[in-house]
């Protein structure tokens, strides 16, 4: 049975709203993880991880903070394995380091 398409519904706008809501939900999810773990701990963990990684690639193009900031940040190493939603969020290490800074305005754009 084919789906009925309502000519009065703006499906493009509906898709945009869905994407905006999903982005906000992901930011709130990350805020929850960071607050549970501790904002300063997340930042120090990322900085320590980057220092270890840079030691392995010393004197290569990967030996820079800019490159290290592009690497993925995962909660899997910080949250117990049975906390099953820990793997649901993915971000770069630059994003993880930047979250503790400022007044939390990154959570909701425009705040």
* pLDDT for the residue numbered 60: 95
Q: List, for residues 31-86, the tens digit of each pLDDT value.
A: 777 777 777 788 888 999 999 999 999 999 999 999 999 998 887 777 766 655 54
What is the pLDDT confidence band of residue 99, given thresholds at 50, 70 and 90?
Answer: low
Query: Which residues partner with 72 through β-bridges?
Result: 92
* pLDDT for the residue numbered 96: 73
pTM: predicted TM-score of the whole model, two decimal places: 0.54
Segments of 2-106 assigned E as strands: 72-73, 91-92
Give Dmax over CA atoms of the chain in angstroms: 62
């Amino acid at each position: 049975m084919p789906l009925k398409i309502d000519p009065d519904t703006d499906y493009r706008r509906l898709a945009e709203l869905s994407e905006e809501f999903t982005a906000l939900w992901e930011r709130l999810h990350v805020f929850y993880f960071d607050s549970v773990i501790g904002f300063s701990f997340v930042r120090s963990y990322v900085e320590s991880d980057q220092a270890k990684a840079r030691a392995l690639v010393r004197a290569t193009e990967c030996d820079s903070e800019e490159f290290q900031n592009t690497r993925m940040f995962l909660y899997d190493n910080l949250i117990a394995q049975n906390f099953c939603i820990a793997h649901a969020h993915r971000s770069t290490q630059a994003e993880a380091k930047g979250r503790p800074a400022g007044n939390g305005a990154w959570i909701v754009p425009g705040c």
